[in-house]
Structure 1
Amino acid sequence: MKAAVIGAGTWGTALAIVLAKNGHEVMLWSKFPAEIKELMETRRHRNLPGAVLPENITGETALRAVCEDCAVLVLAVPSIYVRETAREMSPYVSPGKIVVTVAKGIEEGSLLTMTELVEQEIPAARAAVLSGPTHAEEVSRLLPTTIVAGAREEQTARFVQDCFMNESFRVYINTDVKGVEIGAALKNVIALAAGMADGLGYGDNTKAALITRGIAEISRLGMKMGCRPETFAGLSGIGDLIVTCASMHSRNRRAGILIGEGRNYEEAMREVGQVVEGVYAAKAALELSERYEVSMPIVEKVNEILFAGKPVREAVRELMLRDRKEEGI
């Protein structure tokens, strides 16, 4: 089969390697000719040490070619570019073609998930999502990884499962698409908070508290939005939250550490050098909490730190001194 990966960042390149390992012909697209030229000449991505691009990956800069020639399209640009890229793809996507989004985010303003953006901009497509506790650095080296393919129709999810699954990349399916995407987007906000705690020099107790209470916040919101509670106990919920809060591969955690050490979010993003999705998801998460009248104190404090200049230590103190409560979601 021919497959296209639209976006030649670390995650897009890692997924191209997985597809190529499965024997598919893979077209890896970037709008930047210099990026494709370097990838094809070196067969390596500068931010994926140890990974080599198989020969059945070819580079492309013409969006029409990849959309028309390939049976499945993997949309791997950062969340803030998904709508724009999907709009550009739309004239070249034939009815029923599967478009798999792999960015984790919620669009600010519209509060749409990434598959909802695809459905809006490419109405001819069947939208799916691939999400879970997956660092590109490890996936590209074919280290054992598990992930979830989500789609409204089980048949679509199984198609994506068949495309990607192999002995190092185990794919589960889930038809709770919104739950998969809410967990994926909001865990980045909690990971920023976990990084901030690390930047302040706090320990494992603090990290465990943020992960546990963070998944409670995400689950509360998700269930109010009609998602299934078991989704948040799975790979795209608690699984993704754990790996993003705990690993230095996580750009959200790294940005949070810098903010905890005293940088503002703009300085932190420049130092990380890649898109920090949690910064963009934080405002959307707060808007969703207000729309659905769900208490999300960690999300509230992250927004105050990022956009209102609240000192991180003061935010932690306010979280700790909130009204006494029973445990629960």
Structure 2
Amino acid sequence: MRVTVLGAGSWGTTVAALMCRRDHEVLLWARNPEVAAEVNEQRSNVAYLPDARLPARLRATADLEQASAHAELLVVGVPTGAFRETLGRVRPHLAPWIPVVSLSKGLERGTHLRMTQVITDVLPGHPAAALTGPNLAREIMSGQAAASVIATEDLTVAAALQQEVRRGVFRVYTHHDVIGCEIGGALKNVVAIATGMAQGLGVGDSTRAAVMSRGLAELTTLAVAMGGEAATLAGLAGMGDLVATCMSPQSRNRHVGEQLGRGRPLDEVLGEMRMVAEGVRTVSTVVELADQHGLDMPIARTIHDVVNGRIRAADAYRGLVRAVPAGHESEPG
């Protein structure tokens, strides 16, 4: 199978490397020609995976037309802000009916669409799926065991994609609840900013645990309101991804929160980062969806206020775990 992976960041490069098997011809598209040349000539992508040696079978290109025409399976790992524009450029050169898999975790601003919905909108007729879960690129590239979920409504397609993506100790499970899986992947980035702020402010593990658990409740509530299933958020695409992103020092969103907790300006923090922290972009859409569905979601709203400069992290944090009046201490779902 000819596989094209769009996006040569840490996760796109990792997935491309995982799919390099004898029966696959994998082509990685990098926006930067220098990155493509490095992959081809040095078998490395130092900017994103500094210690990784890439497979000899992996080829890279900066030519999007070439990458698109190559694909019998298209995997898209570009940031959500560039997702629609990239698919639009791909469309004239893409063979009909081939599956398109999203690696991107977030929501489109303005439309509130999930990434599989963007795929369906831009590339009608192509089966759309999402690969999501607690996947830290550097750990997987180093050979550590991990598990992921391929989510699509057509379980026949899901089973076929499962066979193509899984490899060695990287296990892939199928799931029919695309809404739950994608909302879990998008909102965990917002909660990770909150737990990073806790780290930066030096609060205790008990407080961070409270924020994570209440954050899980928030993303579950929104997913269900949008048509997802609560049980999905107790699995890899919900709690699993949330724990990994909130606790790992490799998490970009946790890093942003930590720096905010230390009192640094958001623009300065983002300006130092090579990769995108999707939670910063996603949180405004989450608040709009919460309003649309009549949901409280205090953690998401507080993070929204912090990233928009309305309040400081130091002032906001005590409001993330909101006090309740005496006699009203029951935990909602």
Report the equivalent of 2:111.
110
Query: Is contact 2:72-2:95 (8 Å) kept?
Result: no
Higher mean Cα deviation, 24-33 or 110-119? 24-33
User: CA distance change for structure 1 residues 323 and 157 in 2, over 3 Å: closer, same or farther?
Assistant: same
Q: How does 1:11-30 map to 2 (within 5 A)?
A: 11-21=11-21, 23-30=23-30
Q: Displacement, 1:274?
A: 1.8
Report the equivalent of 2:332.
328
TM-score (norm 1): 0.96
Q: Displacement, 1:51?
A: 1.6
Instruction: Give the residue type in structure 2 aligned to 1:101.
Output: S
Gaps of 5+ in 2: none
Q: Displacement, 1:97?
A: 0.5
Instruction: Give the residue type in structure 1 aligned to 2:237.
Output: S
Distance 1:261 1:119 in 2: 41
Higher mean Cα deviation, 284-293 or 86-95? 86-95
TM-score (norm 2): 0.95
Report the equivalent of 1:193.
194
Q: Displacement, 1:26?
A: 0.6
Whether 1:43 and 2:43 are equivalent positions in the alignment is yes
Report the equivalent of 1:57.
58
User: CA distance change for structure 1 residues 319 and 16 in 2, over 3 Å: closer, same or farther?
Assistant: closer
Query: Is contact 1:2-1:70 (8 Å) kept?
Result: yes
Aligned length in residues: 329
- Alignment RMSD (CA, Å): 1.3
Instruction: Give the residue type in structure 2 aligned to 1:71.
Output: E
Report the equivalent of 2:215.
214
Distance 1:117 1:273 in 2: 25
Q: How does 1:268-283 map to 2 (within 5 A)?
A: 268-283=269-284
Whether 1:93 and 2:94 are equivalent positions in the alignment is yes
1:20 partner SS: coil
Instruction: Give the residue type in structure 2 aligned to 1:79.
Output: T
User: CA distance change for structure 1 residues 22 and 51 in 2, over 3 Å: closer, same or farther?
Assistant: farther
Q: How does 1:174-185 map to 2 (within 5 A)?
A: 174-185=175-186
1:328 partner SS: coil
Q: Displacement, 1:316?
A: 2.1
User: CA distance change for structure 1 residues 271 and 203 in 2, over 3 Å: closer, same or farther?
Assistant: farther
Query: Is contact 1:128-1:151 (8 Å) kept?
Result: yes
Instruction: Give the residue type in structure 2 aligned to 1:2.
Output: R
Distance 1:48 1:167 in 2: 20
Q: What percentage of residue pairs aligned between the two structures are identical? A: 37
Distance 2:156 2:32 in 1: 34
Q: Displacement, 1:162?
A: 0.6
